[in-house]
């Protein structure tokens, strides 16, 4: 996946990022927002921090994990709020729909890397990537942005 406007890869799907938590109560606008995030560099971490900074909303990192299961465990325990693409919201967490002090988040694009940059266009890897891309887009699994 990538942030919008980045040059890398061919986009095959676009969707919004969402705030997700065990309960909406965790996002008390009177307190810094407790963030659960991947370590940098992370698209979702950067998008959350950028949105909060633009909105002037105080925040603090309460948990960092390199795995989605680690982030989900922290959110399940009620430690804070995480950001994920809407279709990837972990089961058991609720979407916090722009509640008090929660700014709108950007969209992200899911991409297929152009392997022909590293491989000849007629290589098996490049052909497989083209076939997969067309199957995803033409087959309707993902909509092309």
Q: Which of 2-16, 49-63, 120-134 has the lowest mean pLDDT?
A: 2-16
Give the pLDDT score at 1.
Answer: 60
Tens digits of per-residue pLDDT, 32-50? 999 999 999 999 999 999 9
Beta-bridge partners for 17: 85
d(CA 145, CA 138): 12
d(CA 91, CA 105): 20
Give the pLDDT score at 75.
Answer: 98
d(CA 25, CA 21): 9
Please name each of the domains of the chain with its CATH number: 15-109 (3.40.190.10)
Distances (CA, A) of 141 to 15, 25, 33, 134, 135: 13, 35, 35, 10, 8
Give the pLDDT score at 133.
Answer: 72
Helices (H), 42-103: 43-55, 68-76
Mean pLDDT of 5-10: 66
d(CA 127, CA 145): 22
Tens digits of per-residue pLDDT, 92-117? 999 998 766 799 999 998 777 766 56
Tens digits of per-residue pLDDT, 113-134? 766 567 777 888 878 877 877 7
Give the pLDDT score at 145.
Answer: 46
- Percentage of the chain with pLDDT > 70? 79
Residue, of 138 and 42, whose pLDDT is higher: 42
- How much is the pTM? 0.77
Distance of CA 101 to the CA centre of its chain: 20
**In the structure encoding, which two tokens stand for residue 65, read together?**
């994990």
């Amino acid at each position: 996946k990538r942030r919008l406007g980045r040059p890398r890869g061919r986009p095959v799907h676009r969707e919004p990022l969402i705030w997700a938590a065990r309960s909406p109560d965790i996002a008390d606008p009177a307190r810094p927002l407790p963030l659960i995030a991947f370590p940098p560099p992370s698209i979702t971490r950067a998008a959350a921090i950028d949105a909060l900074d633009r909105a002037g909303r105080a925040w603090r990192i309460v948990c960092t994990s390199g795995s989605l299961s680690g982030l989900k465990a922290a959110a399940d325990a009620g430690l804070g709020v995480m950001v994920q693409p809407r279709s990837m919201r972990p089961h058991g967490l609720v979407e916090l729909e722009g509640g008090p002090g929660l700014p709108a988040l950007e969209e992200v694009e899911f991409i297929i890397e152009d392997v022909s940059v590293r491989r000849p266009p007629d290589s098996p890897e490049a052909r497989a990537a083209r076939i997969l891309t067309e199957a995803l887009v033409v087959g309707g699994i993902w909509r092309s942005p």
